[in-house]
Amino acid sequence: MKKLIAGNWKMNLVADGVDRLAQQLTEKIAQQQLADVEFLVCPPSLWLERVKNSAQSASISLGGQDCHEQEKGAYTGDISATMLKSMGCNYVILGHSERRHGHHQETNDLIKQKIQAVHQSGLIAILCVGETLQERQAGQAIEVVKKQISDCLPSDSSSANIVIAYEPVWAIGTGEVATPEDIATMHDAIRNHLTQDHEVVSEARLIYGGSVKPENAQSVLATPNVDGVLVGGASLSADSFIAIGRAV
């Protein structure tokens, strides 16, 4: 199976920066022979159109960072999974901690509805899960993550339409990467949980996210049960994003 190297651009870049990054990615990825890697970029939805052609020519998959749970309607400011699909996206990130906490306060129940909308549009949902520092220190990390998975997976899930991204909240954007042992323990626990309680997704890809950069990518990607990475900050530079792919 190819490793998924996914870039979450979050709310970064204005038009000229988007064009520059898209062009660099196209040129540089075309120069690589990385048959074992699937690159995915998730720009702000406003920029999908700008990134689409570059992505297509370099065989980079395209994804959204979120979507509404309804297909269409009077939901000012929102976008639907159907819209992302019609723009050429294959993936949608859902349940990111930046949407679970802070401003948006998304619940497991809402995330489940959004995943359902993504599946109905024929797209793949990247379900983000992860514990806070407080939960880790209280020894609850594995239980918290297992519950997030069980509460968020809709019944139409399959190993093909779900990717699970383990992203410990304390490692996102902090420079603090989980140790290979922490990642191995959690990914092992997630795999067992899927096999025991959610058989239909037992072979879903499990990826890790949280301060992944070229310097630590190799050890993260060599960890058992790690099928790829979700990269924030380091995906905003073509060189570092591609270097992470090369670490495969």
Binding site for ligand PGA (CB under 6 A): 8, 167, 172-173, 209-212, 230-234
List 68, 135, 167, 187, catalytic entry: 167
Segment (H or E) for 152: helix 141-152
Q: Which is nearer to ligand PGA, 96 or 112 (by Cβ)?
A: 96
Is 68 an annotated catalytic residue?
A: no
Do residues 205 and 164 touch, judged by C-beta distance below 8 A?
yes
Contact predicate 213/19, CB 8 Å: no
Is 81 or 129 the residue whose CB approaches ligand PGA more closely? 129
Single-letter amino acid code for the residue at 204: A
**Per annotation, catalytic residue among 96, 119, 187, 193:** 96
Q: Compute the least distance from the CB of residue 230 to ligand PGA, in Å.
A: 4
Q: How far is the CB of 174 from ligand PGA (least distance, A)?
A: 7
**3 state DSSP class of 165:** strand
Instruction: Output 8 or 148, the one with its CB closest to ligand PGA.
Output: 8
| C-beta closer to ligand PGA: residue 60 or 126 | 126
CB neighbour burial string for 137-158, b if at least 16 within 10 angstroms, e if fewer: eeeebbebbbebbeebbbeebe
Establish whether 167 is a catalytic residue.
yes
Task: Tell me how far, at minimum, the Cβ of 33 lies from ligand PGA, in Å.
Answer: 26
The helix or strand, by DSSP H or E, that contains position 231, with its residue range, turns out to be strand 228-231
Helices (H) and strands (E) in the chain, counts: 10, 8
CB of 176 to ligand PGA, least distance (A): 9
Read off the tokens for 29: 């990825």
Dig out the tokens for 158 from the structure: 């399959």
Active site residues: 96, 167
